[in-house]
Structure 1
């Protein structure tokens, strides 16, 4: 929290940014920074060049001299182009910083997709709107997701996508995801190519750390309704939903990519075709059970045209409910752990369009309770326990699509799997862990969240019991958890540290650790209590409104 004596602008700063300021001010890399603190002890973060008077009138010039001395110390010539930004990147202790406005932590390097790069991706005939990218997408996240979704065919197009003045050809890079990921991280990003942009612009000596206080996410604020911070917030919610549900997330992604790239499927009509409206083709993949409501990842999608997909959003059709009930009767798992009870208590109450929409609203409230419950364990730093919800074992295999059948506008696939020995296995896991933990924290901390919250004495007692059980785990488990905390906490998480951690642990053994299983059963009880209350309120105006 901001200190009472802090400068006025700090009261509006995100808490992560305020903590970051203090960490930077105390870091040895910035030792000797002129006029570091104001008379009240607060940090003088800004040193603008246009101060006309006052005690700190010449702070800007003094700090410029400091940056020149620092350049000499790290071997960078002040006559070189962009020397001061190079120094700022070189001495920065973590390479990542939070945004002053929203707290979103971003890479300070040139590692985010440019608008031109995104246009190139969108022009590929197998990429449709279901593949989510923006100028807030990190290039390493992009290439992992791109490969997850579209497979080896991307290697034919990567040289065209990444081509720029600095890199006109790419013949030396093998067609493997390991090779491309490594090259992008170590070579391409370092060259600061035009196809990428930084998470934070250089702003030394005006800012103490040498970077603009507003990250890429919040630099643009011309249109508040569609501002980048709001779009990033929506994306954060979606990532939280996708990463904290059950099911094979890899085969689901692969089928989605197959649907958008298969020429035969592109000719298929919309599931709503025949209702008297125009339904443009090609159609895109729609989750029959929305992930955002607590349904599982499954290699099955229905085909909807762009207008229908947009209009449906995260709502349930009556036909969706009937289809999912039928799939469940055949032994398929259609809902994730936290939605099992609410689905069980309410699915038979759906008999038309209105009640399907009512189910949507009820399940949305159920999901919010579950996400906030998970956040309780995040806040209390039971990271190892939370890791067991991420289904990381699916990444241990390579998946080959054997068949994909289209029946009544629904595409369902069958995959075979073989054990994978690729380094890419850990790349997938690292990305999933990082995004899952970051998005959960951001989801829970979003200001003005109008989400349903439910609790009572019994639920609070169960929560406390679960937290106590995790505090009493074995010394070995606590040591492993503490190591994971040291990797994931703060803003200096390094992929290599997380990779070493994953190589050292037995994930399946941890998943089945008795105390973890016991706590999960407690969480099931909490969600069952929540579901009963929601089901009892089925006719409440909150859910039955038109």
Structure 2
């Protein structure tokens, strides 16, 4: 098989050939490039991506796996013939199961035994190394038993069985001490797993280096999509003890336009949260409606509110559209919105940034002036004047900078699954907005025109529903 232009490891090319030609993947679609190489990657919205999903749905039915978040990861794990994924960068093989320690577990090992391990050390190897360095096996067993909160009788299990219990408690039971050697990524990748493994992820996945991961929740998730909601309170709530040993999940994905607000966050184990991604389900809609009814806090950002109102009125009559058509329309609307912001930045330069900051970002600054206390539903039960330090005094400026940079980054990515699309009339309206901005028209008029443009785009997207199903 001819190689692509990417500097992929030879072991990975051999892995591709092995997987594609294995009986377990019979019927799973894959194309070839003109040079004969396999097109390993296929985005979800492409024809081949949809065919892969249909194939996996059939497999899930054969295996009696329920169609819930994580279904494709479970299907592809079951089918994988070796359970070892080869890294495209370094060629090393790691398990697709949850056998590798996170930073919290590594610190616990260091504190208990004084040894430094890495996030790519299999816990079976960690066990062996400890024994080889004369740590009593019973001490190792007790350590694992205590960390994973297992019953006392687990102490007599074999090493393999105890480690398998640890893996299952993280993959299925909500514990977060261990992660997989390769994250699930179906149907984008043919075998269902990211091409680079845990070993090279921090280097290859920009935005997910060790340093960036520490601020990912606060920066990217809070600011990237210019979300409505009390974004500072949401950040505080996500970092509270309520989410210890779990992750904070947006009931309505903010990448689909839902707000970043504490009332719309819920605890979820890492595995389910990672596999949920931007899926939308009926259960999510009904949870959102319950919170909206209870709190009177609107769940959708202004630029997608028309679509949300349609969903509220029609999801019970069109349940088959929730995870497909509704989700796709919200996603397309988000891409269009980010394109509009980027277009204004490009055409109006610093004036565009100044105006959009005034219209869309500054109204959120007030949230940063307070500190909040919460109940376990995410309701704000106490509000106090925030104490400013050298570290947080420039947070509003930082919020604006990250939001603006995220728009530029969003529009510069060439591998985005969905392209922006505006009709000629919508592009003309956008050009008029840019003219108003460049001529320093009244802020209120510019805001009105942007809102009108986004509303018209939403109406157009909704009008396509009958044609897309």
TM-score by length of 2: 0.50
Alignment of 1:434-473 (within 5 A): 434-473=401-440
1:328 positional shift: 3.5
Find the aligned partners of 1:472 and 1:443 in 2 and give their Cα distance.
Answer: 27
Q: Look up the match of 1:252.
A: 234
2:206 matches 1:232: yes
Structure 2 CA distance for partners of 1:454 and 1:243, relative to 1, 3 Å = closer
Find the aligned partners of 2:105 and 2:404 in 1 and give their Cα distance.
Answer: 28
2:376 matches 1:405: yes
Q: Look up the match of 2:365.
A: 393
1:383 positional shift: 1.2
Find the aligned partners of 1:255 and 1:243 in 2 and give their Cα distance.
Answer: 19
Q: Look up the match of 1:490.
A: none
Find the aligned partners of 2:418 and 2:223 in 1 and give their Cα distance.
Answer: 14
1:123 positional shift: 4.5
Does the Cα contact within 8 Å between 1:341 and 1:528 map onto a contact in 2? yes
Write the deviation string for residues 360-389 of structure 1: whole angstroms up to 9, x where unpaired: 221111100000011011112111112132
Q: Larger helix proportion, structure 1 or 2?
A: 2
2:451 matches 1:524: yes
Write the deviation string for residues 256-287 of structure 1: whole angstroms up to 9, x where unpaired: 111xx24xx66xxxxxxxxxxxxxxx442211
Q: Look up the match of 1:339.
A: 304
Structure 2 CA distance for partners of 1:249 and 1:241, relative to 1, 3 Å = closer
Does the Cα contact within 8 Å between 1:255 and 1:299 map onto a contact in 2? yes
1:394 positional shift: 3.1
Structure 2 CA distance for partners of 1:394 and 1:243, relative to 1, 3 Å = farther
Q: Look up the match of 1:309.
A: 273
1:339 positional shift: 1.0
Q: Look up the match of 1:294.
A: 257
Q: Secondary structure at the match of 2:343?
A: helix
Q: Secondary structure at the match of 2:375?
A: strand
1:534 maps to which of 444, 461, 464: 461
Write the deviation string for residues 90-125 of structure 1: whole angstroms up to 9, x where unpaired: xxxxxxxxxxxxxxxxxxxxxxxxxxxx9369858x
Q: Secondary structure at the match of 1:285?
A: strand
1:333 positional shift: 1.8
Find the aligned partners of 2:222 and 2:206 in 1 and give their Cα distance.
Answer: 12
Q: Look up the match of 2:248.
A: 285
2:103 maps to which of 119, 122, 127: 119
Alignment of 1:466-505 (within 5 A): 466-473=433-440
Find the aligned partners of 1:390 and 1:316 in 2 and give their Cα distance.
Answer: 27
Report how many residues are paired.
268
In structure 2, runs of 5+ residues without a counterpart are 1-5, 7-101, 109-194
Does the Cα contact within 8 Å between 2:372 and 2:380 map onto a contact in 1? no
Find the aligned partners of 1:472 and 1:343 in 2 and give their Cα distance.
Answer: 34
Structure 2 CA distance for partners of 1:314 and 1:450, relative to 1, 3 Å = closer
2:321 matches 1:355: yes
Structure 2 CA distance for partners of 1:384 and 1:465, relative to 1, 3 Å = same
Find the aligned partners of 1:360 and 1:123 in 2 and give their Cα distance.
Answer: 40
Find the aligned partners of 1:293 and 1:374 in 2 and give their Cα distance.
Answer: 16
TM-score by length of 1: 0.43
Structure 2 CA distance for partners of 1:532 and 1:452, relative to 1, 3 Å = farther
Find the aligned partners of 1:331 and 1:122 in 2 and give their Cα distance.
Answer: 43
Q: Look up the match of 1:322.
A: 286
Find the aligned partners of 1:519 and 1:316 in 2 and give their Cα distance.
Answer: 33
Find the aligned partners of 1:529 and 1:230 in 2 and give their Cα distance.
Answer: 39
Write the deviation string for residues 12-53 of structure 1: whole angstroms up to 9, x where unpaired: 9xxxxxxxxxxxxxxxxxxxxxxxxxxxxxxxxxxxxxxxxx
Find the aligned partners of 1:363 and 1:354 in 2 and give their Cα distance.
Answer: 16
2:311 matches 1:384: no
Does the Cα contact within 8 Å between 1:349 and 1:355 map onto a contact in 2? no
Q: Secondary structure at the match of 2:206?
A: helix
Alignment RMSD:
3.6
Structure 2 CA distance for partners of 1:425 and 1:232, relative to 1, 3 Å = same
